[in-house]
Amino acid sequence: MIAEAASAKINLALHVTGRRDDGYHLLDTLVAFADIGDRLTVETAAAGAGISLEITGPFAKGLSGADDNLVLAAARTLEAVAAKRGKLVPPARLSLEKNLPVASGIGGGSADAAATLRALNRLWGLDLSAEALAELSAPLGADVPMCVVGHPLRATGIGTDLHPFAAFAGADALLVNPGVSVSTPAVFKALTARDNAGIGAVPDLSDREALIAFVATCRNDLEATAAKLAPAIADALAAVDNTAPLLTRMSGSGATVFGLYDSAEAAKRAAEAIAAEHPEWWVMPTKLMPAV
């Protein structure tokens, strides 16, 4: 059995810098990955069994295991790539432990699809490089290639032009999801400004203070619009702000927001305070992983 982590993706900054003719938006985003996430396992199944998917975990009920699931779509994409190379792959049994809230701005489905590609690449002995996997994954969704890479990076274009960092500090963080799901297309559609400045020249981010100081100069251009569509996002931002973090921001198109703290202890204390006040919210202290 092969296991792959599907780490939560955090947009430390997300600037919307334009829009293409096909409606997709141009982005300039700074992305880190958390040490929590979903978990995907794959194993070879009996002949004739095909590709199957079982979903477990705290957020399993929010997901369909039907063919439109991004995990199955990723498996079929890779199966087709193998077939094109003349390789007939054996059936596979996939199992997804869904620990992250669904449709919540922290990668979820994209990270699951990326983990599927990495896991099946190993199970089927396809020997595709991470770059090749990232490239073939773009049709599955604009956030999938960055999740294939899985290390701190800057992404431009529609989010698929990837610039990984050789040096990038880790950080203590808290993720808070107020239990509403937000439609990404609806947030993009409701934007009133689309030609914003990018994140500019990025300094050396190998030191945590430099990282937080730089992130503080950036924005999430989807935040105000998402909070208007889903006021619970504003409540979550205010709740995190109340715990004296170094920085508070929304990730992706929401509804998950995050705080950055100067220690794991401070992130844990903030988590306890928010969970006590909002027992129905998903509140998760974590670490953003440094570049390796």
Of 22 and 127, nearer to ligand C5P (C-beta) is 22
Q: Which of 59, 168, 188, 261 binds ligand C5P (CB under 6 A)?
A: 188
Contact status: 142 vs ligand C5P (CB under 6 A): yes
Q: Which of 3, 25, 41, 52 binds ligand C5P (CB under 6 A)?
A: 25
Q: Catalytic pick from 28, 38, 112, 143?
A: 143
Residues 174, 165 contacting (CB under 8 angstroms)? no
Active site residue 87: no
Of 184 and 286, nearer to ligand C5P (C-beta) is 184
Whether a cis peptide bond, with omega within 30° of 0, leads into 271 is no
Of 105 and 259, nearer to ligand C5P (C-beta) is 105
Find the angle CA(119)-CA(39)-CA(14) to the nearest 5 degrees.
95
Long-range contacts from 156-163, C-beta under 8 angstroms, 24+ separation: 156/26, 156/27, 156/28, 156/29, 156/198, 157/26, 157/27, 158/20, 158/24, 158/25, 158/26, 158/27, 159/27, 159/29, 162/134
Contact status: 147 vs ligand C5P (CB under 6 A): no
Pick the closest to residue 147 from 106, 177, 176, 185 (CA basis): 106
Q: Which of 28, 143, 172, 221 binds ligand C5P (CB under 6 A)?
A: 143
**Considering the complex, what minimum distance in angstroms separates the CB of residue 22 from ligand C5P?**
9
Contact status: 185 vs ligand C5P (CB under 6 A): yes
Of 17 and 243, nearer to ligand C5P (C-beta) is 17
Q: Catalytic pick from 9, 38, 112, 172?
A: 9
- Distance separating alpha carbons of residues 1 and 42, to the nearest angstrom: 6
Contact status: 141 vs ligand C5P (CB under 6 A): yes
- Distance separating alpha carbons of residues 97 and 274, to the nearest angstrom: 25
Token pair 């997709």 in the structure block, residue: 24
Name which of residues 193 to 212 contact ligand C5P (CB under 6 A). none
- The tokens describing 200, both together, are 């500019």
Beta-strand ranges (E) seen in 25-102 are: 25-44, 51-56, 92-97
Active site residue 9: yes
Binding residues for ATP: 101-111
Interface positions with ligand C5P (CB under 6 A) = 24-25, 27, 141-143, 158-159, 184-185, 188
- Which residues are identified as catalytic? 9, 143
